[in-house]
Structure 1
Amino acid sequence: MPDSPAPTRLRPGIRALTAVVAVTASVLVFAGCSQAVPIETAPLASDPACAAVVVRLPDALAKDTEAEQQQRETNAQGTGAWGEPASVILRCGAEAPGPTTDRCVSVNGVDWVIDESQKPNYLFTTYGRTPAVEVLVDNDVVSGTTVITELASAVSVIPADGGCTTLDETFDDTSG
């Protein structure tokens, strides 16, 4: 019976290079899974109040539910994103909205104007705070009410200088 060839041994330098290539390939594969979410920066994103909001953003939204959304890295100042793919996008530094007939709700001390024109995507914009914060929510993935409730503590660091009113509140009783 002929002798089997002896197994070849990798030289130490080649073995180290092979290990480095394997580790680098693993890092690239995993890094590809967690790319930063591209978001356009809001006009007033450099306002110091936005930095105060961003450092208070939660690591996850809708915690302890089937719809839990983990925070993701973004590519723009004054922003936040949650979900894979991103189902919640936050932009601090938006222009404060003026008077509107859109629905306005107060949640945990923060007033929000709700734009429902792109259902199931809802745009919530803080009302009575400058700069404003916009939160775009895919309501098919996670509840918009849950999201703005959980973001209220971070957003509330921007002082309120106004709030939602009803039509009845806008008229003074001067007929007296």
Structure 2
Amino acid sequence: MSHRRTVLAVVLAGLALALSGCAPTVTLDPGAQANDPGCAEISVRLPDTVADKAKRETDAQATGAWGDPAAVILRCGVPPIGPTTKPCIDVNGIDWVLMTDPAAKTIVYQTFGRRPATEVIIDHVAGVSDASVLPEFSSAIATVKQTQKCLSTLDTTGGGAGTPTPTPSR
């Protein structure tokens, strides 16, 4: 190898090392069922960017993080929730339950009616909005079949038409 190539290889290796040091691995706890095959299906389909934040390496199975510092975190394999009075929204065919106070600085959403369940944590302090995050995960989450539909409290408290019960979807 010529001297120039050796120097170039050393410079490129140093540059790669320096760049990788800019965004260290995000340490996360895996969900209890992170080894579920559904989590693998979701994990391989996670987007490279979410809300204009680049994806980062994580050290836990079936997780994802975007931004430096992490503004969005995803964990697949969390314990699924049953019927709830918490707010439920549909984003591109995915039912999400808002698990935290909507005014909190950090918001947690969890999928409803899918096993394994997935949670997404959004840091509003980082200037990321729910509307710019949740749609990004729709195609990945859709790989896990939905078995129950999340209903609005209006549907279950008599404010809607009749008293519907959760029904299997698609």
Q: Same fold (TM over 0.5)?
A: yes
Find the counterpart in structure 1 of residue 28 from structure 2: 39
Equivalent pair of 2:87/2:152 in contact (CA under 8 Å): no
1:51 corresponds to which of 25, 40, 43: 40
1:103 aligns with 2:87: yes
Partners of 1:20 and 1:151 in 2: CA distance: 38
SS at match of 1:159: coil
1:157 aligns with 2:152: no
Equivalent pair of 2:105/2:123 in contact (CA under 8 Å): yes
Structure 1 portions without partners, runs of 5+: 1-12, 63-67
Structure 1 window deviating more from structure 2 (154-163 vs 140-149): it is 140-149
Structure 2 portions without partners, runs of 5+: 164-170
1:120 corresponds to which of 90, 98, 105: 105
| TM-score normalised to structure 2 length | 0.80
| TM-score normalised to structure 1 length | 0.77
1:88 aligns with 2:77: no
Q: CA deviation at 1:24?
A: 5.5
Partners of 2:144 and 2:111 in 1: CA distance: 10
SS at match of 2:99: strand
Compared with structure 1, are the counterparts of its residues 99 and 25 closer, same or farther at alpha carbon in structure 2 (3 Å cutoff)?
Answer: same
SS at match of 1:92: strand
Partners of 1:143 and 1:167 in 2: CA distance: 24
Please say which structure displays the higher CA radius of gyration: 1
- Residue correspondences, number: 156
Q: CA deviation at 1:145?
A: 2.0
Find the counterpart in structure 2 of residue 131 from structure 1: 116
Find the counterpart in structure 2 of residue 60 from structure 1: 49
Find the counterpart in structure 1 of residue 155 from structure 2: 169
Q: CA deviation at 1:105?
A: 0.6
Q: CA deviation at 1:22?
A: 6.0
Find the counterpart in structure 1 of residue 133 from structure 2: 147
Amino acid at match of 1:61: V
